[in-house]
Amino acid sequence: MNIISKYNTNLTFKSKINPIKPYKLQTRIGEISISEVNFDKELTCKFIRRLNKFFCKNFAQDTKDTNYSIYSKGSLEQRLECEKDFYTRYLKIFKNPKLRDKSTILIAKDSNNNLQGACISTPYFEVPECLNTTLWIDSLAVNKKYRNARIASELLNKTIESNKETFTDVFLTGTISAKKFYEKMGFKILNKAHSAQKTVYDFLRNKRYDIPKYVLPFTKPIQNKKTRWYENSAKAIRNQF
């Protein structure tokens, strides 16, 4: 299936085997349908733009980072630029076979078929020696009205569970306001007192303007009896310098 976009006119998406079967989740605010996006049938430019707006809106509400908060306060041109940044990043993931074939988009919809939550994961590519070991939770958000109803934890847990045979660890950068949530989910902030973790932490801080001012780097093991991802990554980073 060829998908034509205004940003990329030669992009072809191919479906992957969806490991998560659709199911219903009973919450305090009603029934929620959770399903994985089928890349071949559903991952259209229109859908990606819908995800853009969903994540931009939610991230703008949860951070003081002006690159996102401007989305809710800025001009139409600024909002479109923010959406374009997301769009371009997602295309970078989904047009790369090494990333796309191990990526997952899990969504939550209410009884009226409205998008209320979403989680995008992919192999981690921002740090050396991570593609084959580390699952990256690229984006996770739930609309404010539907928070504290187990939706975010359900999306996150199902995504990790479906990838437990593929990756040894999971990594994400979460907003400071979400620190307690991720800690409750078993994640820990990269420990700067640990040599390998500090090397990776410093590498990320030098690459990204938002660490640690707006977001924090969290990690969690998936397969316990394995060398942790940051050990191999730290060695690769040190060998670069």
What tens digit of pLDDT does each residue of 59-74 get? 888 888 887 777 777 7
Nearest to 141 by CA among 112, 113, 177: 177
Contacts of 65 (CB under 8 A, 6+ apart): 59, 210, 213, 214, 215
How many helices, marked H, and strands, marked E, lie in the chain?
9, 10
* 209/51 Cα distance (integer angstroms): 24
* 31/26 Cα distance (integer angstroms): 5
Query: Which two three-digit tokens encode residue 145?
Result: 């009205």
Q: What is the pLDDT of residues 37-53, one digit of tens each?
A: 988 788 887 888 888 88
pLDDT of residue 18: 59
Tell me the one-letter amino acid at 139: S
Q: Which 8-state DSSP code applies to residue 60?
A: H
Percent of the chain clearing pLDDT 90 (strictly above): 63
With bands split at pLDDT 50, 70 and 90, how would you rate the model's confidence at 36? very high
Q: What is the pLDDT of residues 129-177, one digit of tens each?
A: 999 999 999 999 999 999 999 999 999 999 999 999 999 999 999 999 9
pLDDT of residue 51: 87
In this prediction the pTM is: 0.89
Q: Are strands 11-12 and 2-3 parallel, antiparallel or unpaired?
A: antiparallel
Answer yes or no: is pLDDT of 11 > 70: no
pLDDT of residue 69: 74
Strands (E), the chain: 2-3, 11-12, 23-27, 30-36, 104-109, 115-123, 134-142, 169-175, 188-189, 215-221
Query: Which two three-digit tokens encode residue 128?
Result: 């050396």
* 221/229 Cα distance (integer angstroms): 9
H or E element at residue 76: helix 76-94
Q: What is the pLDDT of residues 82-112, one digit of tens each?
A: 788 778 888 888 888 889 889 999 999 999 9
pLDDT of residue 85: 79
Query: Topology of 2-240 in CATH?
Result: Aminopeptidase (3.40.630)
